[in-house]
Structure 1
Amino acid sequence: MAENVALQQSKQNKFTKQVKNIKQKVSNGLLQIQDDFKPQKHKRQYGLIYIGHLPHGFYEEEMKEYFKQFGVVTNVRVSRSRKTGKSKGFGFVQFLHPEVAQVAAETMDNYLFFNRRLVCKYIPPEKQQKSVFTKAVWSTQNYPLKISRKMHIAKRNLSQKKIVVSTKTSLKKIKMKLNKLAELGIQHTLKPCNVPDDMQHLLEGRSIDSSNSRKTVSTKLNDNIISKNDINIKMQRAKISEICQNLNSKSFKILKKNRTKKMTLPAPSFMQNDRLKRLAAAELLKGDLVNKVVKLKNKIKT
């Protein structure tokens, strides 16, 4: 280490004496020099300002865009409600340099902004809290009450298997509590309501055979199959009724007399009508010829 490194000439003599003393201590073994010395990282000091009386619509994105005119904005946060996600009317803006934050706080304090008088205060680094930007950032689309509401709705819309399991566990807990009351000698008339017949044994302490349980399961499955078939039949009947309603009443009729069905054919077209008339005329001619032949035969016999 050089002895003539002092920045001021007036303090050079004092500096050389201190260097000699350190060298003697090192030679005597009183001091040790570290080869792998790593200097401590200096924590950067950011500029932070508090903003109050925020107007409606002036939130995170708008605040960041507006305060960019003063300098580099590193972080923005608007304090919001946990229940609704709406703004509480105040927030924080963090700048890269503390000097810029001071200028922004001085210029924007008592500034009339959308019929609101802004309150801007500079927070020095000694009074800044670390938890300002570490908390979760809520919004009107994402806030705790909405998340818990979604979870509650998901719990309500359970499948049939989960409902059965949850009811069994709840009934077992109720049974345990009732047993404790009975052990303590407390008389009560507590009875849970709307308990299904398949789960009455959980309260009474009885055990059901596996065969009976299998039978109940099979009967439930059969009931489900029958109900599905009934639904399909009802759907088919509804479709048939819709088709019949769309058709003309003259074109399609069903008459029920003595368990026999008679159907009236639809009205024939122009071409079909002519053809039918010709066939009817031919049949009438045939009938007349037959009648004439029969009459001649009767005359001959007589």
Structure 2
Amino acid sequence: MAKNKKRVKPEEVSNVALNTDEQKKFEQDIREKRKQTGSTLKPGIVRLSHIPWGFFEHDIKDYFKQFGTVSRVRLSRSKRTGNCRGYAYIEFASEDVARIAAETMNNYLMFGKLLKCRFMDRVHPKLMKGANRKFRKPMTHIQDAKRHNQIKTEIQQARGVRRFLGAYKKKMNKLVSLGINYELDGIITSIHQQICINGAICPLLLTGAIARKNEVQTVGQRRCSTRRLDGRKSPPKNENSLGGPDS
């Protein structure tokens, strides 16, 4: 039987010297030559803007491979939502290839949008930070749910009640201006029942609720007393006559 001959790869054939004694020197010369040719190539970066929706990292890299070797792609995304901001940076292995790609793809119509490509002469050292990183959508909805369902402190409850009473005051004032005499006393009572802590009402909430309710009743008189005939607002002469400053 014939002996199995070892198959030689094309790369190995091209790296074989005519003289076997000079093989090591030949391989060393090839390595040095590759280092020299690799050092002469200067990378170039192209800024791509007006990106249509759906044209993301993998699509950008696959599309621009037709011009040359694409080293890295960084698509700008929102940290909160993870959506595309409409621009990206593409790094080519050769600066000349990057210039050709920028000139060719500038004002190229894609999915109803004109792509804008610009070769960047000056590049920040950290411009491509985070490039070729696997995209993970931020879990903001989980954080919002935890924030909404967490147990609120007395101060947080007081702020929420005061915000609600502020909106309630505006609605009541609007009804008064329309000539409608209507009061929702049941809302204040239900708030007092909900803000009970260990069988007792929180003093911060109780004082805030009472102050807001009294302010709703007297706010119409305050506006009339501090309004002049020319429409300008005059400063109060005495705080006691106006019911005192807001607490």
Q: Structure 2 length normalisation: TM-score?
A: 0.43
Whose RCO is larger (CA < 8 A, sep 6+)? 2
Q: Which one has the bigger helix percentage?
A: 1
